[in-house]
C-alpha cells in the first residue's frame, strides 16, 4: 500500500545530545520525549530517546527500530537501512524498539494505512535518509576539526577518514556534530553499487534474546499494582448479558472484583470492543482464570442466532445464481458476446471458509490510566489508531499517551485491530488501577476478526485456438468492512476481490462483480488480505482450463501473461504489475520442480503464481496420497520482491509464509452453527504438524535492482491453489472448497 508522508526537512531530522555525549539523530523533538530505552544501553544517564540513531562516546551505535515487530523482520531490516547509509559496522550496532508517541511520530497523509507503514517499502527511502544525514553531520564535524574540505574525507566502519590516513571515530565527533545545523537540501544517498550491508544475509537483531528466552513479549509485561483481567464474552454476535451470578467467583482467593462491560449495538460502526462481557479482576492470572470459570452467566442471543456455515453457503449460491444487483468492479469488452461466439465455455465455483488468525501469543494489553496521561504496553501494529481509541474512551490528550511496542508473538493481521486495547481501557477506567488484560486461546478463536467467508464463480470463454478470450469473476462474500469506521466509505468488495486482479488487462472481455453476503461474524484483515481470498479460485480455474483443453498449465499461464509489460494496478502494491516478472518467477519455479518430467510413481505436481503487494511469487508442490494421508514431497517457492534488503530475512518470510499457507489450506476453517463459532482450541483448529510438513521449502529469490517490497504476506496466496493443483495431478480429484484435506477424504 502506497503511503505519502507529510514531513518537512526541519521536522524530518532533529538532533539531541545526551548527558553522556551521545549524538541522537531522528524524527520529532530532540530526544526529550518518554521512552522505553534500556538504561544499560546508555549508561547511568537515562536518555529519553526519540531518534533513530544514537552514537556513544565509545563509538557504540544504537539504532531505534520504528513500528511493531510481529515476525515480519522490520526490527532488523529497517535499522540495516540506517546502518548502511551511516556507514557503520553492523557488529557494533545494537537495535532497540522505539515507542510510539503522538508528539514525536511522523504522520503519513493517509493515516488509515499506518498498519503497513514502517515496512521495507515505506522505509526504503526514509530510513536511508536518516542514516545519510547523520553521516553528513559527522563528516562536517570532522571537516571543522581538521580545518579541511569535506571532499578530503570519507567514512568507513564508524570512522571519518582523512585522505592522509588520519581517523576520528563517530563517538569522538558526536558533540561537534550535534552543534551543526541540518542541511538545507536532501543529502545524497549511496549508489547501490557501494552497498556494504544491504543485500547481505543478516541474522535477526534480537535472535539471541529470543533463543535464550530473555526477550520480553507483550504478554510478559507488568507494572506495579497491576490487576490481571480475564473476560468472559458473549458467544452470540450482537448479544448481551441476560443474568449473572458471580458469588462463587468473588469467593476465590485473589479475585478483587467482577465487572460488566456493555457490548456494541448490532450493526454499530465501531472499531472498539467486539462483544459484551463479564470481567474478573484478580491479583494474578491463575486467580482471574479460576474466577471466570466460576461465573454463572446466561446470554441473550443477538440477531444472528440462525447463522451457520451451511446457511451462508446456500445464500452465496443463491446470490450467484440470481446474478442481480451486484457491485460491478470492472467490465472490459463484452463478456456476454464473447460467450455467444465461444468454441467452449467453462464454469466453476470455489468456496472459502472464515479463517482465524490463531497467533501463538493471544491478544493482551497492559494499560495504566493516570490523570496526566496513559501508558499502553501492547504489541499493536496500528499504534496511532490505538492512541486515538484511548483518547476517545478516556478523554486524555493524544500527546499524553505513550505506547510501548514489545515484540508480538505473531499477527497475520490480528494486531492491526485494537479491540483488545478498547477492552483494556474500559476495564482500567472501572478498576481505577493499572490493568493487564489477558486473552485465552478459546477467547482468541471464538472472538476474532475473521478472514471473510465467500464463494467465487469463474467462467472463461475460449476461442477456436483454445485461447482465453473472456473471463468472468463473480464473488459473493461477507464484506471485510464490517463495522470498521475507516472502512465505511470503502467498497464492500474491498478485502475480498480487486478490480485489477489477474487476468484484468490481459483478456479482451472481462466481467468482475461482487455480491455482499450478510453475516454477523466479525471480519478483519488477514495475512495476504484479498489475495489469499481470490488466488485459490483464479489459479485453480486456470488449471481446470488447461485440463479441459489438454494444454500445459504453465504454457497457458505464460500465454495469458503475454509479452513482458506493465499493467495498471490500482490495488495494494501498484501502480503497476509486471507480466514479465510474474512470467519469470513462474518459469523458474517450473524449472526447479522439474515440471516437464513425467511422474509415474503416483506423485503429482501443481503450480500457481500470483502478484500481490508489489511482489511476484510462484509456488510448486510435488505430492502423493498414501493410505489416506497427503504427503508433500517437495515445496518450491520463487519470489521477486525487488532488492532483497536482508536476503536471510526474505528467505525466512517466504519459508514461513509457505508453511503457513500449507497449514491453512489443508485443515483450517472457522465454522458457524446457531450463530456461534464452533472452534475452541487447537484440537478444533489444527495447525500443521511437523510430520505433515515438507522436509524443507526450496526458496529462490530473484536478484533485482528495483526498490524492495515487503515479503511478509506475499508467499501465502499461491500456496493453496498450487497444492490443490498438485492433488488433482496425483489423484484426478478436483477440490473446489477449502480446507483441502476434508474435501479430499470425502471425494476419494
Here the cell at position 45 is 544517564
The predicted structure's pLDDT at residue 437: 98
Q: Where residue 105 falls among pLDDT bands split at 50, 70, 90? A: low
The predicted structure's pLDDT at residue 213: 93
**Within 13 Å and on the Cβ side, how many CA atoms surround 575?**
1
The predicted structure's pLDDT at residue 280: 98
Q: Where residue 486 falls among pLDDT bands split at 50, 70, 90? A: low
The predicted structure's pLDDT at residue 6: 37
44 exposed, middle or buried (CB, 10 Å; 0-12, 13-18, 19+)? exposed
Sign, Cα dihedral of 312, 315, 319, 325: negative
Q: How many CB atoms lie within 10 A of CB 644?
A: 24
Read off the pLDDT of residues 235-278 as tens digits, 9 standing for 90 and up: 999 999 999 999 999 999 999 999 999 998 887 777 799 999 99
Average pLDDT over residues 25-49: 37
412 vs 216: CA distance, rounded Å: 20
Average pLDDT over residues 675-687: 96
Here the cell at position 724 is 490443490
Q: Which of 240, 230, 30, 54 has the alpha carbon at shortest distance from 131?
A: 54
Ranking 112-121, 250-259, 355-364, 437-446 by mean pLDDT, the lowest is: 112-121
372 vs 374: CA distance, rounded Å: 7
Q: Where residue 27 falls among pLDDT bands split at 50, 70, 90? A: very low
Q: Residue 329, SS3? A: strand
Residue 10 has pLDDT above 90, yes or no: no
Read off the pLDDT of residues 37-48 as tens digits, 9 standing for 90 and up: 443 444 433 222
The predicted structure's pLDDT at residue 456: 98
Read off the pLDDT of residues 322-335 as tens digits, 9 standing for 90 and up: 999 999 999 999 99
Residue 110 has pLDDT above 50, yes or no: no
Task: Return all residues near 92 (Cβ < 8 A) that are at least 6 apart.
Answer: 59, 60, 61, 158
Q: Where residue 49 falls among pLDDT bands split at 50, 70, 90? A: very low
Percent of the chain with pLDDT over 70: 90
Q: Where residue 348 falls among pLDDT bands split at 50, 70, 90? A: very high
Residue 33 has pLDDT above 50, yes or no: no
**Within 13 Å and on the Cβ side, how many CA atoms surround 384?**
19
Question: In this structure, are residues 586 and 609 in contact, taking their beta carbons and an 8 Å threshold?
Answer: yes
Average pLDDT over residues 346-362: 97
Q: Which position has the higher pLDDT, 111 or 434?
A: 434
The single residue listed with the C-alpha cell 456493555 is: 262
651 vs 203: CA distance, rounded Å: 11
Q: Where residue 376 falls among pLDDT bands split at 50, 70, 90? A: very high
Q: Which domains does the chain have, with CATH numbers?
A: 9-211 (3.30.365.10), 218-303+363-438 (3.30.365.10), 326-355+449-747 (3.30.365.10)
The predicted structure's pLDDT at residue 635: 98
The single residue listed with the C-alpha cell 479460576 is: 290
Residue 307 has pLDDT above 90, yes or no: yes
The predicted structure's pLDDT at residue 16: 55
Cα Rg of the chain (Å, integer): 27
Q: Please report which helix (H) or strand (E) contains residue 262, including its range.
A: none
Before 573, cis peptide (omega within 30)?
no
Q: Which of 432, 417, 426 has the alpha carbon at shortest distance from 394?
A: 426
Q: Where residue 14 falls among pLDDT bands split at 50, 70, 90? A: low
421 vs 408: CA distance, rounded Å: 14
Read off the pLDDT of residues 333-345 as tens digits, 9 standing for 90 and up: 999 999 999 999 9
76 vs 383: CA distance, rounded Å: 20
Read off the pLDDT of residues 516-557 as tens digits, 9 standing for 90 and up: 999 999 999 999 988 999 999 999 999 999 999 999 999 999
Q: Indicate the average pLDDT of the chain.
A: 90
The predicted structure's pLDDT at residue 616: 98
Residue 112 has pLDDT above 50, yes or no: no
Question: In this structure, are residues 685 and 358 in contact, taking their beta carbons and an 8 Å threshold?
Answer: yes
Read off the pLDDT of residues 405-435 as tens digits, 9 standing for 90 and up: 999 999 999 999 999 999 999 999 999 999 9
Q: Where residue 51 falls among pLDDT bands split at 50, 70, 90? A: low
Amino acid at each position: 500500500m502506497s503511503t505519502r508522508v507529510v514531513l518537512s526537512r526541519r521536522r524530518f531530522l532533529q538532533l539531541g545530545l545526551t548527558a553522556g555525549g551521545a549524538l541522537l539523530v531522528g524524527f520529532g523533538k530532540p530526544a526529550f520525549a518518554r521512552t522505553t530505552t534500556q538504561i544499560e544501553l546508555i549508561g547511568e544517564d537515562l536518555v529519553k530517546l526519540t531518534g533513530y540513531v544514537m552514537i556513544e562516546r565509545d563509538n557504540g551505535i544504537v539504532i531505534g527500530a520504528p513500528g511493531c515487530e510481529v515476525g515480519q523482520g522490520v526490527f532488523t531490516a529497517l535499522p540495516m537501512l540506517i546502518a548502511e547509509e551511516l556507514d557503520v559496522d553492523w557488529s557494533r550496532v545494537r537495535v532497540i524498539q522505539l515507542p510510539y508517541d503522538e508528539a514525536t511520530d511522523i504522520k503519513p497523509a493517509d493515516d488509515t494505512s499506518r498498519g503497513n507503514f514502517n515496512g521495507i517499502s515505506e522505509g526504503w527511502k526514509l530510513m536511508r535518509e536518516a542514516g545519510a544525514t547523520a553521516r553528513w553531520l559527522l563528516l562536517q564535524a570532522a571537516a571543522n576539526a581538521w580545518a579541511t574540505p569535506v571532499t578530503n574525507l570519507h567514512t568507513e566502519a564508524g570512522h571519518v577518514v582523512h585522505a592522509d590516513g588520519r581517523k576520528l571515530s563517530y563517538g569522538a565527533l558526536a558533540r561537534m556534530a550535534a552543534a551543526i545545523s541540518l542541511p538545507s537540501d536532501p543529502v545524497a544517498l549511496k549508489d547501490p553499487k557501494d552497498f556494504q550491508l544491504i543485500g547481505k544475509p543478516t541474522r535477526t537483531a534480537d535472535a539471541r534474546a529470543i533463543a535464550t528466552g530473555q526477550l520480553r513479549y507483550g504478554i510478559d509485561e507488568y507494572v506495579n499494582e497491576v490487576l490481571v483481567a480475564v473476560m468472559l464474552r458473549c458467544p452470540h454476535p450482537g448479544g448481551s448479558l441476560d443474568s449473572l451470578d458471580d458469588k462463587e467467583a468473588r469467593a476465590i482467593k485473589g479475585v478483587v472484583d467482577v465487572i460488566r462491560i456493555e457490548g456494541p449495538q448490532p450493526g454499530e460502526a465501531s472499531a472498539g470492543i467486539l462483544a459484551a462481557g463479564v470481567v474478573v479482576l484478580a491479583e494474578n492470572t491463575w486467580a482471574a482464570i479460576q474466577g471466570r470459570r466460576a461465573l454463572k452467566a446466561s446470554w441473550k442471543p443477538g440477531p444472528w442466532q440462525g447463522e451457520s456455515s451451511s446457511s451462508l453457503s446456500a445464500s452465496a449460491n443463491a446470490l450467484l445464481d440470481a446474478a442481480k444487483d451486484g457491485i460491478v468492479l470492472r467490465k472490459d469488452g463484452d463478456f456476454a458476446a464473447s460467450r455467444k461466439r465461444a468454441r467452449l465455455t467453462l464454469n466453476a465455483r470455489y468456496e472459502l471458509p472464515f479463517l482465524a488468525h490463531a497467533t501463538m501469543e493471544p491478544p493482551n494489553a497492559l494499560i495504566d490510566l493516570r490523570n496526566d496521561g496513559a501508558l499502553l504496553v501492547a504489541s499493536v501494529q496500528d499504534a496511532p489508531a490505538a492512541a486515538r481509541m484511548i483518547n476517545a474512551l478516556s478523554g486524555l490528550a493524544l500527546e499524553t499517551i505513550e505506547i510501548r511496542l514489545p515484540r508480538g508473538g505473531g499477527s497475520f493481521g490480528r494486531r492491526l485491530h485494537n479491540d483488545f486495547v478498547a477492552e483494556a481501557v474500559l476495564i482500567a477506567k472501572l478498576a481505577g488501577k493499572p490493568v493487564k488484560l489477558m486473552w485465552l486461546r478459546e477467547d482468541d478463536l471464538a472472538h476474532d476478526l475473521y478472514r471473510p467467508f465467500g464463494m467465487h464463480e469463474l467462467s472463461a470463454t475460449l476461442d477456436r485456438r483454445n485461447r482465453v478470450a473472456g473471463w468472468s469473476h463473480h464473488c459473493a462474500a461477507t464484506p471485510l468492512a464490517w463495522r470498521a469506521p475507516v472502512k465505511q466509505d470503502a467498497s464492500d468488495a474491498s478485502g475480498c476481490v480487486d478490480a485489477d486482479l489477474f487476468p484484468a488487462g490481459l483478456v479482451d472481455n472481462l466481467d468482475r462483480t461482487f455480491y455482499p453476503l450478510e453475516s454477523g461474524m466479525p471480519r478483519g484483515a488477514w495475512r495476504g488480505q484479498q489475495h489469499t481470498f481470490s488466488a485459490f479460485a483464479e489459479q485453480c480455474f486456470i488449471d481446470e482450463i488447461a485440463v479441459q483443453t489438454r494444454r500445459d498449465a504453465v504454457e497457458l499461464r505464460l500465454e495469458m501473461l503475454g509479452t513482458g509489460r506493465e499493467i495498471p494496478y490500482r490495488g495494494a502494491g501498484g501502480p503497476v504489475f509486471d507480466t514479465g516478472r510474474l512470467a519469470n518467477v513462474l518459469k523458474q519455479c517450473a524449472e526447479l520442480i522439474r515440471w516437464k518430467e513425467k511422474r509415474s510413481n503416483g506423485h503429482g505436481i501443481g503450480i500457481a503464481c500470483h502478484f500481490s503487494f508489489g511482489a511476484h511469487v510462484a509456488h510448486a508442490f510435488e505430492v502423493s496420497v498414501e493410505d489416506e494421508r497427503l504427503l508433500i514431497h517437495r515445496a518450491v517457492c520463487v519470489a521477486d520482491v525487488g532488492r532483497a534488503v536482508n536476503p536471510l530475512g526474505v528467505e525466512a518470510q517466504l519459508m514461513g509464509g509457505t508453511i503457513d499457507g500449507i497449514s491453512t489450506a489443508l485443515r483450517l476453517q472457522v465454522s458457524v452453527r446457531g450463530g456461534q463459532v464452533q472452534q475452541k482450541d487447537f484440537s478444533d483448529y489444527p495447525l500443521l504438524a511437523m510430520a505433515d510438513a515438507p522436509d524443507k521449502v526450496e526458496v529462490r529469490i530473484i536478484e533485482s535492482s528495483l526498490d524492495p517490497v515487503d515479503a511478509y504476506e506475499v508467499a501465502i496466496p499461491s500456496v493453496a491453489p498450487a497444492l490443490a493443483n498438485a492433488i488433482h495431478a496425483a489423484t484426478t480429484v478436483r477440490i473446489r472448497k477449502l480446507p483441502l484435506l476434508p474435501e479430499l477424504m470425502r471425494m476419494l
